[in-house]
Amino acid sequence: MRLLGLVMVLAALTAWTASAANAASSVQYGVQDDAWLLHGPGTLDSRLDVLERLGVDIVRFTVRWDQVASDRPADPRNDADPAYAWRNADLVLRALHRRGIPAVVTLLGTPAWANGGRSFNSAPTDPRSFGNFAYAAAQRYPWITAWTIWNEPNQPRWLQPTSASVYVTKLLNPAYAQIHAASPRVEVGGGMTAPRSTGGGVSPVSWIRAMARSKARLDAYAHHPYPSQPQSESPWTGGCAHCLTITMAELERLLTEVRESFGPVRIWLTEYGYQTDPPDLLLGVPPATQAAYVATSARRVYVAPQVDMLIYYLVYDDAAPEGWQSGFFTANGTAKPSYTAFRFPLVQVSRTGDRVALWGQIRPRSGSQRYRLGAYRDGKVTWLGGIRSTDSRGFLSASVRLRRGSLVVVYSPRDDAFGLTLRIT
């Protein structure tokens, strides 16, 4: 990580510390990796063990309408209709439920019988058909309380026609009404926007405003705040001040646009990550930088009002070179530093004289956790005080006396594991 970039990140962290009074301490940190959950190495149970060791609060999983209902059901609101093929969704969602891991479920993809024989990204001709499927899905998985509609509909590769009005009238609003009819306890997220107007798409700012004009119904606005320039943009700095993009560095723009369009609805960040080099030579950042950004993005969301969810993508890198390489593990299963950064994020918040304020979390398990802070001196860890306790969600805040350049680390006695080393500035 370049020293200048680190200084800019810490300056931004300090500047936003005043927002901590409005911190979304209920924020859920999770992952999405559908392919790994369904087909990754080992058994599904062993993959769920990985999620528990990570300490995820929630898992995003996609249920494809075009795959579940490739044949037209005779009774589309009945999840037991013989035309429905729920096998993959049943396998993952029921296994997560048995482990007590919540899921946020995305509904995506139109079957050919519902859109005039077109591809999965074409909107249905009759909005009632998608509403009926959403009702059946909510009936089948009554324990799911968080749903999102479609994926990055502001890009043509995911929705055609690429229109916020089409998205609202044919997908979001019908699904919102029917999911709530099936289970009044749920929340439905709309938007699911990509951070920019790639390949002839629509910018998220324009999309949000157009959704409001189309009278969108939603309980939360979902967005994917990937960086536009990953090698120069951190979760806190480097965003474009006058663009219509919305990356993590431009999170305030998202909060403002959503509030002005929809009022005090919640914000879900349902897909986010940095690819690593290796193996991505073009867009990747060093693994240590990815790890630092996992920790600092967690803090960014923690102090942001309205934000309730941050989903990192992926768990395992894609094996194909042209795939996505933002996992906590390489394609062959080697843990990257980001694996440890997710489990035990630790960041410097501010400095006052020789006192340094630290923030972090012990994520495996639930409830208050014991931890220790240590500083490396002559290659050995010297403890900074005794054993401390986090709050009831595993979050820690500590003030310690450290010189600039000191190397500090968090230790979890129950896990017998250290976090990553943090250099104090």
How confident is residue 188, by pLDDT bands cut at 50, 70 and 90? very high
Residue ranges making up the domain that contains 261: 22-343
| Structural contact between residues 286 and 1, judged by C-beta atoms closer than 8 angstroms | yes
Give me the mean pLDDT over the 301-328 stretch: 96
| Structural contact between residues 16 and 244, judged by C-beta atoms closer than 8 angstroms | no
| Structural contact between residues 384 and 337, judged by C-beta atoms closer than 8 angstroms | no
Beta bridge partners of 80: none
The amino acid present at 125, given as its one-letter code, is T
pLDDT at 17 over 80: no
How confident is residue 184, by pLDDT bands cut at 50, 70 and 90? confident
Strands 307-313 and 28-32: parallel
Render pLDDT for 349-395 as a digit per residue (tens, 0 to 9): 999 999 999 999 999 999 999 999 999 998 899 999 999 999 999 99
Beta bridge partners of 31: 59, 312
Q: What is the pLDDT of residue 22?
A: 40
What total of structural domains would you count in the chain? 2
Is 45 in the same domain as 118?
Answer: yes
How confident is residue 26, by pLDDT bands cut at 50, 70 and 90? confident
Out of 24-28, 68-72, 263-267, pick the least confident: 24-28
Is 325 in the same domain as 353?
Answer: no
Is 103 in the same domain as 178?
Answer: yes
Q: What is the pLDDT of residue 101?
A: 98
Give me the mean pLDDT over the 175-183 stretch: 97
Residue 17 domain flag: no
Phi, psi of 349 (to 5 degrees): -95, -45
Q: Give residue for tokens 């290796």.
A: 278
Which CATH number characterizes residue 387's domain? 2.60.40
Look at the pTM and tell me if it is higher than 0.75: yes
Is 118 in the same domain as 241?
Answer: yes
Beta bridge partners of 59: 31, 103
pLDDT at 310 over 90: yes
Cα–Cα distance between 375 and 382 in angstroms, integer?
5
Is 39 in the same domain as 158?
Answer: yes
Residue 5 domain flag: no
Which among 284, 312, 343 is the end of a domain?
Answer: 343
Render pLDDT for 124-152 as a digit per residue (tens, 0 to 9): 999 999 999 999 999 999 999 999 999 99
Give me the mean pLDDT over the 83-106 stretch: 98
Residue 43 domain flag: yes
Is 331 in the same domain as 370?
Answer: no
Q: What is the pLDDT of residue 357?
A: 98
Residue 233 domain flag: yes
Is 314 in the same domain as 242?
Answer: yes
SS (H, E, C) 346-415: EEEEEEECCEEEEEEECCCCCCCCEEEEEEEECCEEEECCCCEECCCCCEEEEEEECCCCCEEEEEECCC
Q: Give residue for tokens 């229109």.
A: 163
Residue 143 domain flag: yes
Greater model confidence, 321 or 356: 356
Residue 3 domain flag: no
How confident is residue 171, by pLDDT bands cut at 50, 70 and 90? very high
Strands (E), 109-186: 146-149
Residue 90 domain flag: yes
Render pLDDT for 271-289 as a digit per residue (tens, 0 to 9): 999 999 999 999 999 999 9
Cα–Cα distance between 209 and 341 in angstroms, integer?
36
Residue 16 domain flag: no
Q: What is the pLDDT of residue 414?
A: 97
Is 388 in the same domain as 244?
Answer: no
Is 171 in the same domain as 235?
Answer: yes
Which among 299, 323, 343 is the end of a domain?
Answer: 343
Which among 343, 364, 395 is the end of a domain?
Answer: 343
Kindly report the number of other CB atoms within 10 A of residue 345's CB atom: 28
Is 323 in the same domain as 351?
Answer: no
Which pairs count as long-range contacts for 81-89, CB under 8 Å and 24+ apart, including other chains? 81/136, 84/136, 86/140, 88/38, 89/61, 89/63, 89/137, 89/141
Is 416 in the same domain as 301?
Answer: no
Is 294 in the same domain as 392?
Answer: no
